[in-house]
Amino acid sequence: MAQTSSSSSSPSLKASSSVTNDFQAIIMALILIVTIGYFLLLIVTPTNMYRQIWTPKIKAHTTNSTYFGAQGRTLLMNTFPLIFIAVLGCVYLHLWKKSNDKNINRVEKKQKLAIWRRPIIMKGLGIVSRIELGFFVMFIALLVWTFASYLHIIFPTITPKSVAKSGEKVWEAKLEDSGLRLGLVGNICLTFLFVPVTRGSSVLQVFGLTSEASVKYHIWLGHIVMTLFSAHGICYIIYWAATHQLSEMLKWGKTDISNLAGELSLLSGLVLWIATFPRIRRKMFELFFYTHHFYILFVVFFVFHVGVSYACIMLPGFFLFMVDRFLRFLQSRSNVRLVSARVLPCETLELNFSKTKGLSYTPTSIMFVNVPSISKLQWHPFTITSSSNLEPERISIAIKGEGSWSKKLYQMISSPNSVDRLNVSVEGPYGPPSTHFLRHDILVMVSGGSGITPFISIIRELIHTSESQKCKTPEILLISVFKNSQDLTMLDLLLPISGAPSETCKLGLQIEAFVTREKQPVSIEDKKNLRTIWFKPNPSDEPITPILGQNNWLWLGAIISCSFIIFLISLGVLNRYYIYPIDKNTNDIFSYPIKAVLNMLIICISIVITSSAAFVWNKRQSGTDAKQIQNMEGATPMASPNSWFYNADREMESLPQQSLFQSTNLHLGEKPDLKRLLFERKESSVGVLVCGPKKMRHEVANICSSGLASNLHFESISFSW
């Protein structure tokens, strides 16, 4: 009977999976169609066809609306497509998460794109894939095309006769128009500027990206935006000086462009921009962190400058960012349960938090941490070292004492008079929707120093996979480079604090550890103990839970769609019953700044209402599933049983530790020959993951992209420490 039931249910499961896959394909097709259509719109916008044929027809159907007026056209053509893509992306990711065949489908796609994913090192851009480079070139081409098309249309109309009435010279008129067009082109970049830093973005993940890996796109767009807007401002200042109109710099128009607002926006952006340059950011991170909040002033004054109707062009990216930002704000309001900390001699901590079993994440995910006793405002990202499958009730992060914030935390916990509890708030975790390490025959992980942290979560995940699913996992070659032998204790983090299954010895893990600055092993007297510190619980502490529950993507899609609908309804009511009776759609009576303030207020209220309702509902649901925190008091152990490096001279205390110790080859006073180590791998598919200093990443990328070994598949891993 059991066999009959099983066999009868199997076709129904396959049918259900097939239907889900069909829905996924339809949704992805819609996303691609809307995306292509949106970019086609950007391409035709600067042309005469758009201005002389499309625009009059669109205006005829939208401008006379008593609910939205001229703003309705911008909302329909520029705002709605990206919002629609985000909502569709949420539905797609929800179905993909539930699909049993998602890994198989994704592997096939990756294999087809393997050639295009090979790395290229570009000066100023770093390591990019051929796909990234292709899209970057196309985006720059779009900006050049837009600017050139505008000038091609307008410059022939600027003649000595046409400028004679205003008393201008031809070059002055052309300079003013060039400045205007630079601003219009900059607004295209501004539309996408906030998308890469929307951490829970469905738009990124539906295209296989993560916010952490997409930060470089935000950096590229930021440099382009500020370059174009700076050129825009300089052109107008020169024009006003040449035409004796410098008083225009103080103009704050009631129903026109507000020049002063534009200058304040540009000034805020310049302060923010200067602090982002690498030398300043590395040496003065706090300056970079605090000045980055100038983006609020930058956006607010930008809306005052151009008017709310035109600002709707850049609204969708910022709207999605605001939804994500407010959800993160809600999550960060509560203290989380910090269970323990492993204190390593190399000024490194592993913090272990309590979490609900419903919170799942993928390897290489990150989590943002705030410790109010150090700084109430600073949030720092750290790579997660745990596996949500191997450790269902724990989530861990590794912190290296390198910056001022992390050094204070290390000193606070590692001191002899260590604190017995610590208030901590978190945001996240954030990471890729899935990982695809199982498709390779072997994984070669190359790490430098603290770059080992993302590989810890991968190894722990593979330990679980080899044990629970009883399937073949790829072999692992971990090449770790450290400066000092004390840093070798970071290898202890490969095993979780609660120990590891005996399957560790079956994983096929080989470690090649290189210590570059020491030629002799550390003497017993110089060794420091690895300690595990247990923290007392607080009744107000909570385990980390998924912010929007198990169906987080559906909830996010509901928040985005509902908040946008509430915004549209509120905007329509405001225009119809307050603004229209005064202005009559002339745009010459009602104050632009007041209209902008009202629009921004409505957007904020709609996001706060929908996000808060969804958050409270899911918090109540997850609260019933969260385990009651148990008091864990007692003496803090001064030595950890998990330290195989400092206990190498005596009998191993567990099989996993013994297996880990025996699989490690230690190389003192030398650097790894990465070319030899990679080229000698003859497996058909070798996944090459690298995380560490820039020089190391570039070296590995050059080896993999040389074409001398077609079986090497490169993947640069970003990490936060």
At 389-403, the pLDDT tens digits run 888 888 999 998 877
Please check the confidence at residue 714 and state whether its pLDDT lies above 60.
yes
DSSP code of 441?
S
Share of the chain above pLDDT 90, in %: 34
pLDDT, tens digit (0-9, with 9 covering 90-100), for 226-245:
999 999 999 999 999 999 89
How many Cβ atoms sit within 10 Å of the Cβ of residue 133?
15
Integer Cα distance of 134 and 144 in angstroms? 15
pLDDT, tens digit (0-9, with 9 covering 90-100), for 636-645:
444 444 444 4
Cβ-Cβ contacts under 8 Å for 39 (sequence gap 6 or more): 142
Integer Cα distance of 208 and 12 in angstroms? 30
Residue with more model confidence, 128 or 290 = 290
Integer Cα distance of 234 and 266 in angstroms? 11
- What global pTM score does this model have? 0.86
How far, in Å, are 189, 387, 513, 654 from residue 199 at the CA level?
19, 20, 34, 40
Please check the confidence at residue 65 and state whether its pLDDT lies above 80.
no
pLDDT for residue 647: 45
Mean pLDDT of all residues in 195-201: 90
